[in-house]
């Protein structure tokens, strides 16, 4: 069996928060929380940071990660994460050999614990998946959607026959905290999800990610309330 590697994509540019991936978050650069979570997770063979920013790469190296310089042509706002993972995997496999499973955590989703990553890896292997996403469960919210014609409609319940909240079927939100996939599936599908897709569950409050200063303050409050006690 090949290695289980983690690939942290962290571009230098950001519109919402300048330098978002290394902004101070509860006393550390944001990316450091992800690196430390991975270092404390069992079953991971190596941790890699891929970035077009030398500042980010330096922080990665200083905190124990191996680094990959991501080309600028796949680092812009329109670049996909898939292009970054494909580039990183080519370099990693040239250095360490075959990669069996890649884990791809999102830096801007810091509300995560090593136990979440370990559970995801167990679920992935136990369910014999080809790809997997982390999710959070919503059990008692009424969802609506608005169409292009501005008309709205209920999604997960019939408003004409409103039942009890506890009778609503579970909804699973792809929360973006981390993904797992086999490299060959990523290459074949050019997509993080393909083949047999699974999901691994996280607590609801861990689903929030940082895109704005308001998000940053909220996630810091949640981090202090639940993880830094």
Active site (catalytic) residues: 162
> What is the Cα–Cα distance from 34 to 219, expressed in whole angstroms?
14
Both tokens assigned to 186? 């990523």
What is the arrangement of strands in the sheet containing 66-69, beginning at the earlier edge strand?
Answer: 66-69, 46-51, 3-9, 99-105, 171-181, 131-138, 197-202
| Alpha helical stretches, state H, 151-212 | 183-189
CA distance 30 to 32: 5
Report residue 160: phi and psi, to 5°: -75, -20
In terms of DSSP bridges, do strands 24-25 and 28-29 run parallel, antiparallel, or are they unpaired? antiparallel
Structure tokens of 228? 């830094």
Q: Cα(89)–Cα(219) distance, rounded to whole angstroms?
A: 30
Q: How far apart are CA 101 and CA 53, in angstroms?
A: 26
């Amino acid at each position: 069996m090949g290695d289980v590697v983690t690939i942290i994509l962290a571009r230098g540019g950001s519109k919402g928060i300048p330098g978002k991936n290394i902004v101070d978050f509860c006393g550390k650069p944001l990316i450091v929380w992800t690196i430390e979570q991975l270092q404390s997770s069992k079953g991971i063979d190596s941790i890699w940071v891929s970035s077009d920013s030398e500042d980010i790469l330096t922080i990665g190296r200083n905190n124990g990660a191996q680094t990959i310089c991501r080309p600028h042509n796949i680092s812009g706002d329109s670049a996909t994460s898939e292009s970054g993972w494909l580039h990183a995997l080519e370099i990693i496999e040239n250095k360490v050999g075959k990669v069996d499973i890649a884990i791809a955590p999102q830096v801007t989703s810091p509300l995560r614990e090593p136990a979440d990553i370990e559970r995801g890896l167990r679920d992935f292997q136990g369910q014999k998946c080809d790809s997997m996403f982390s999710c959070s469960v919503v059990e008692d919210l009424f969802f609506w959607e608005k169409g292009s014609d501005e008309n709205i409609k209920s999604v997960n319940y019939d408003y004409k026959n409103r039942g009890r909240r506890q009778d609503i079927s579970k909804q699973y939100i792809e929360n973006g905290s981390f993904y797992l996939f086999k490299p060959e599936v990523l290459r074949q599908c050019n997509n993080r999800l393909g083949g047999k897709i699974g999901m691994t569950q996280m607590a609801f409050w861990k689903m929030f990610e940082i895109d704005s200063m308001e998000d940053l303050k909220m996630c810091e409050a949640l981090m202090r309330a639940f993880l830094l006690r």
